[in-house]
């Protein structure tokens, strides 16, 4: 009978064990706040995997395809709005650098998550230049009839009707309904929209004239500090001299040589980047559910 106190022979570690031991320990964060999609390690990794899956499909709009980072942000916003991520992607756009939602999607959010007893209703009054539309609904708690009115006079003064291709000229009643419903949400349940504007509202916003904006900025600086106005005017080229379209801009354009941030692992087969490596197999699947055959490599 062998002695129980006899030392067992030492088994040399395998190459895999050596590799695993050499890896630095991953920092794990646990968070249960409303921002846990960003702050909790496990939730972040799972959401990013789902974003990679959606980015690899053709069901999502083209603006989200092969862009897992954009899908990740859109999914996080959808979760906070308590709506389906795919429906959120199908009804959101980026206009002039700002994300916006389709007005019909906003109306659906108000009807499903707003503080009202029933769906939004509309009332039209007047014709022609006196035309006006009021969106209204009854509050669940106060029984108050909440209203928001948009008139043709307002649309003209704001310049909404003067834009090229404006739907205010071809389908004004529908635009009345869209805009008044959005205003109703802004007033009584802004949390439903999370501060976002509708696509139609973003399009209707007239960009401020550069010269007017420069004069306002100069006046603020002069009033607050007594400094002289900032000279941002470009030197006029000599007569008869041809200038490229972007002449004079290169010296004023901020130079940023910082390379884009890459995720630590890369799959050469499906051309995707990954935040973490579990084993060395790529976790991606194609649209038919077939797993990727590639192996992750460290970048």
Quick one: tokens of 48? 């990013």
Alpha-carbon distance values, 102 to 68, 89, 94, 294 (Å): 22, 11, 11, 39
Task: Please answer whether residues 181 and 110 qualify as being in contact, where contact means their C-beta atoms are separated by less than 8 angstroms.
Answer: yes
Cβ neighbours of 68 (radius 10 Å): 25
pLDDT of residue 252: 46
**SS3 of 147, please?**
strand
Main-chain dihedrals φ then ψ at residue 81, nearest 5 degrees:
-85, 0
Query: Can you give the pLDDT at residue 250?
Result: 45
pLDDT computed for residue 251 by the predictor: 45
pLDDT, residue 274, reads 67
- DSSP for residue 96: T
pLDDT of residue 289: 67
**Sign, Cα dihedral of 41, 46, 48, 49:** positive
Neighbouring residues of 39: CB distance < 8 A, sequence distance ≥ 6: 29, 31, 33
User: Would you state the pLDDT for residue 229?
Assistant: 47
Residue carrying the six token digits 């007033």: 187
Predicted confidence at residue 259, as pLDDT, reads 54
CA–CA gap between residue 32 and residue 82 (Å, rounded): 17
The model carries a pTM of: 0.57
Contact 204, 164 (CB under 8 A): no
Instruction: Provide the b/e sequence for 98-131 (b: ≥16 CB within 10 Å).
Output: ebbbbbebbbbbbeeebbbeeebeeeeeeeeeeb
Can you list the residues of the chain whose pLDDT is less than 70?
1-28, 96, 206-263, 274-279, 287-289
> DSSP of 170-234, one letter per residue?
H-HHHHHHHHHHHHHHHHH-HHHHTTPEEHHHHHHSPPPPHHHHHHHHHHHHHHHH-PPPP--PP
Name the DSSP class of 139: B
Whole-angstrom distance, CA of residue 115 vs CA of residue 189: 7
- pLDDT of 211 reads 47
Bridge partners, 100 (sequence order)? 93, 197
Half-sphere exposure of 29 (CA within 13 A, CB side): 13
DSSP 117: S
What is the pLDDT, as a whole number, of residue 208?
46
The DSSP element (H or E) to which 39 belongs, if any, is helix 36-39
Q: How high is the pLDDT of residue 132? A: 96
Which is it for the CA torsion 172, 204, 114, 69, positive or negative? positive
């Amino acid at each position: 009978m062998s002695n129980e106190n006899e030392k067992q022979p030492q088994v040399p570690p395998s190459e895999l064990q050596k590799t695993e031991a050499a890896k630095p320990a991953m920092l794990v964060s646990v968070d249960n706040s409303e921002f846990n999609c960003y702050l909790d390690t496990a939730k972040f990794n799972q959401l990013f995997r789902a974003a990679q899956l959606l980015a690899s499909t053709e069901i999502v709009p083209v603006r989200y395809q092969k862009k897992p980072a954009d899908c990740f942000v859109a999914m996080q916003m959808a979760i906070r709005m308590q709506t389906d991520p795919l429906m959120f992607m199908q009804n959101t756009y980026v206009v002039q650098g700002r994300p916006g939602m389709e007005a019909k999607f906003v109306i659906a959010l108000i009807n499903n998550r707003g503080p009202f007893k029933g769906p939004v209703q509309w009332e039209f009054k007047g014709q022609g230049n006196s035309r006006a539309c009021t969106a209204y609904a009854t509050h669940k708690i106060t029984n108050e009839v909440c209203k928001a009115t948009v008139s043709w006079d307002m649309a003209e003064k704001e310049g909404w009707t003067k834009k090229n291709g404006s739907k205010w000229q071809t389908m004004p009643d529908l635009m009345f309904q869209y805009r008044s419903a959005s205003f109703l949400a802004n007033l009584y349940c802004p949390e439903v929209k999370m501060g976002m504007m509708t696509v139609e509202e973003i399009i209707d916003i007239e960009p401020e004239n550069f010269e007017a904006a420069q004069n306002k900025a100069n006046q603020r600086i002069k009033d607050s500090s007594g400094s002289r106005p900032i000279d941002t005017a470009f030197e006029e080229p000599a007569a008869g001299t041809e200038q490229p379209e972007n002449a004079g801009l290169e010296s004023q354009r901020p130079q940023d040589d910082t390379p884009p941030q890459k995720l630590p692992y890369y799959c050469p087969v499906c051309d995707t980047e990954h935040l973490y490596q579990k084993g060395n197999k790529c976790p991606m699947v194609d649209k038919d559910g077939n797993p990727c055959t590639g192996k992750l490599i460290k970048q």
